């Protein structure tokens, strides 16, 4: 047989994602592990955001009183709650798509084991992305429950906020998977949290309104994913519909699609031995 015709073609890592329903058993695998640890992980996931909310919301809230959102005065605790729940979605998704995904990918070699079965890498990355988003949704749901119990908001539009927050989880898990693909060890993720996520928390209108920031900072802020998430979620907490919905959704979609594509390409590169 001639070898000429059989020369293999090196496919670009940037080719379109090749996705199928084979992501589902991988997602189920993560779900089964998590089910064993769900209660302790629940405490860990929601205790910290709730402490921030209660300490800052009621403590600072007493000092600040009301905050103006597009001309509407709202109690500070409501202002903070509607922003910090976006932050919680971001952090839950990021944590899972970095530390936990890295453990499975690099430390435990779980992905290598899965790829010996008929599941390709693209489906594993998709499963990890959706899994991190699911973790974000779970965290957000628990926090929403506590917020309802505290009577922070009874807006019926919270039902809409819920899927929006799932979307926020998806966006941030896609972005985080880029850094997962590049990581050599856990230390790398500290940079991502301290240099990217933490500054973004302060520039996205979670703790204070953006109006008091310089114009340059506000312009940068308006393109950050977290700002756009907060702009969508906050009005829903106030029983209002958000404005410029299309713009905010579009920004999040661009981050999501670009993030997933880059994450997939870099992960393919990592595994292309």
Partner 1 sequence: MSESILSVQHLVKRYGDATVVSDMSFEIAPGECLGVIGPNGAGKTTTIRMCLGLTVPDEGLVTAFGLHMPRDALAIKAQLGVVSQFDTLDPDFSCAENLLVYGRYFGLRDAQIRERVPALLQFASLTHKANAKPGELSGGMKRRLSLARALVNNPRLLLLDEPTTGLDPQARHLMWERLQLLLAEGKSILLTTHFMDEAERLCNRLLVVDHGKKIAEGAPRDLIAQYLEPDVVEVFGAGALALADSPLKALAARTEVSGETVFFYTLDAKPLLQALAAYPQLRTLHRPANLEDLFLKLTGRQIREEA
3-class SS string, the chain: CCCHHHCCCCCCCCCCCCCCCCHHHHHHHHHHHHHHHHHHHHHHHHHHHHHHHHHHHHHHHHHHCEEEECCEEEEHHHHHHHHHHHHHHHHHHHHHHHHHHHHHHHHCCHHHHHHCCCCCHHHHHHHHHHHHHHHHHHHHHHHHHHHHHHCCCCCCCHHHHHHHHHHHHHHHHHHHHHHHHHCCCCHHHHHHHHHHHHHHHHCCCCCCCHHHCCHHHHHHHHCCHHHHHHHHHHHHHCCCCCCCHHHHHHHHHHHHHHHHHHHHHHHHHHHCC
CB 121 within 8 A of CB 111: yes
- Listed in sequence order, the residues at least 6 apart from 143 whose beta carbon sits closer than 8 Å to its beta carbon are 46, 49, 50, 85, 88
Q: Does 44 bind partner 1 (CB under 8 A)?
A: no
Q: Does 12 bind partner 1 (CB under 8 A)?
A: no
In the bound complex, what is the minimum distance in angstroms from residue 28's beta carbon to partner 1?
6
One of 12, 39, 116, 156 touching partner 1 (CB under 8 A):
116
In the bound complex, what is the minimum distance in angstroms from residue 77's beta carbon to partner 1?
39
Q: Does 33 bind partner 1 (CB under 8 A)?
A: yes
Q: Does 38 bind partner 1 (CB under 8 A)?
A: no
If the CB atoms of residues 244 and 272 are measured against partner 1, the closer one turns out to be: 272
One of 16, 36, 187, 216 touching partner 1 (CB under 8 A):
36
Using CB under 8 A, which of the segments 73-81, 115-123, 174-182, 226-234 binds partner 1? 115-123
Q: Does 113 bind partner 1 (CB under 8 A)?
A: yes
One of 17, 29, 64, 67 touching partner 1 (CB under 8 A):
29
Q: Does 8 bind partner 1 (CB under 8 A)?
A: yes
In the bound complex, what is the minimum distance in angstroms from residue 111's beta carbon to partner 1?
8
CB 243 within 8 A of CB 193: no
In the bound complex, what is the minimum distance in angstroms from residue 186's beta carbon to partner 1?
17
One of 74, 90, 101, 114 touching partner 1 (CB under 8 A):
114
Q: Does 28 bind partner 1 (CB under 8 A)?
A: yes
Q: Does 118 bind partner 1 (CB under 8 A)?
A: yes
Using CB under 8 A, which of the segments 32-40, 75-83, 88-96, 234-242 binds partner 1? 32-40
Q: Does 62 bind partner 1 (CB under 8 A)?
A: no
Write out the residues near partner 1 by the rule CB under 8 A. 1, 3, 6-8, 10-11, 22, 25-26, 28-29, 32-33, 36, 108-110, 112-120, 271-273
């Amino acid at each position: 047989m001639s070898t000429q015709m059989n020369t293999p073609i090196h496919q670009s890592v940037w080719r379109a994602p090749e996705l199928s329903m084979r992501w589902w058993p991988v997602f189920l695998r993560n779900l089964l592990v998590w089910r064993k640890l769900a209660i302790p992980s629940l405490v860990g996931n929601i205790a910290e955001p709730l402490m921030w909310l209660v300490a800052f919301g009621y403590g600072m809230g007493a000092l600040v009183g009301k905050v103006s959102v597009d001309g509407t005065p709202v109690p500070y605790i409501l202002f903070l709650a509607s922003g910090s729940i976006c932050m919680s979605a971001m952090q839950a998704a990021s944590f899972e798509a970095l530390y936990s995904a890295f453990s499975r990918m690099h430390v435990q070699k779980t992905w290598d084991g899965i790829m010996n079965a008929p599941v390709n890498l693209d489906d594993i990355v998709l499963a990890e992305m959706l899994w991190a988003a699911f973790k974000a949704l779970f965290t957000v749901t628990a926090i929403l429950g506590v917020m309802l119990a505290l009577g922070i908001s009874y807006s019926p539009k919270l039902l809409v906020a819920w899927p929006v927050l799932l979307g926020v989880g998806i966006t941030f898990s896609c972005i985080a998977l880029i850094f997962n693909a590049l990581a050599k060890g856990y230390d790398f993720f500290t940079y991502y949290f301290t240099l990217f996520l933490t500054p973004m928390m302060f520039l996205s209108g979670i703790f204070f309104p953006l109006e008091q920031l310089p114009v340059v900072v506000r312009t940068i802020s308006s393109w950050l994913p977290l700002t756009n998430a907060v702009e969508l979620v906050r009005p829903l907490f106030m029983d209002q519909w958000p404005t410029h919905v299309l713009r905010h959704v579009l920004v999040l979609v661009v981050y999501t699609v670009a993030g997933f594509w880059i994450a997939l390409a870099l992960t393919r590169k990592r595994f292309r031995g």
